[in-house]
Amino acid sequence: MDKLHQFYCSKAWRDLSYKLKVEAGGKCNRCNNIYTDFSKLTGHHKIELNEENVSDPLISLNAEEIDIICHNCHNQEHKRFGNKQEVYIVYGSPLSGKTTLVKELMNYGDIVIDMDALWKALTFQEEFIKPNNCRFNLFKIRDELLQQVKMRYGNWYNCYIIGGYPDKYERERLVQELGAELIYCDSTKEECLSRLEKSNKPEKWLDYINDWWDKFER
């Protein structure tokens, strides 16, 4: 992973970006629209980051040099990563912030493969309701999408695959198969459990979190 992408995945950047969104009250510094969903906003560096200055916190982590803008305005500024059809596997514990991280990283024209989102799209149920009789169809759709990514079919730019993937062997197999890079959504078990307490998710998510951390291999 290049230095720029690594920086945007770092906890230091994610924490600072969220703090600035809160301070901005969800307002885009360009179009002045207000977003209650902070995932629709991103931190834009006034001094464009490159491989050299990204390691300088006075530039990359300087709040005075960062504007909070919406994705539409950000797309008009520039496309952050120019390499076409890169594939990233974003993995981590339930409630570690994987979806939020991908929304921060992706741009218009990228594609996302998220099993929870596929379940909702296919069954029209809440994310924690996954009818067992639909599993065959769901996984056939997933496998077809992964095959398209593997063969680089289509004109998408980057692809982000969101999943738990606690098993190291499974992650590495997928990396080799898809020609992908791994992005670990850094978190602690305590952080995930704290987010669960503040959410309206059912208690079974406690089992999901505990099970993931029991299986996790770095």
Domain ranges, ordered by start, for the chain: 1-78, 83-218
Q: Which fold has domain 83-218?
A: Rossmann fold (3.40.50)
Quickly count: other Cβ atoms within 10 Å of residue 200's Cβ: 5
In DSSP notation, 127-147 reads TT---GGGHHHHHHHHHHHHH
Q: Where are the beta strands (DSSP E) in 71-214?
A: 87-91, 111-114, 159-163, 181-184
Query: For residue 133, is pLDDT > 80?
Result: yes
Query: For residue 75, is pLDDT > 80?
Result: no
- Token pair recorded at residue 38: 């902070």
Query: For residue 201, is pLDDT > 50?
Result: yes
Mean pLDDT of 97-103: 91
Q: Are 56 and 38 in contact (CB under 8 A)?
A: no
Q: Mean pLDDT score of the chain, rounded to an integer?
A: 89
**Measuring CA to CA, how many Å separate 122 from each of 128, 139, 153?**
13, 11, 22
Q: Are 198 and 124 in contact (CB under 8 A)?
A: no
In whole angstroms, give the CA distance from residue 69 to residue 46: 11
pLDDT in tens, 5-32: 788 888 899 899 999 999 999 999 999 9
What is the distance of C-alpha 34 from the center of its chain?
Answer: 22
Query: For residue 72, is pLDDT > 80?
Result: no
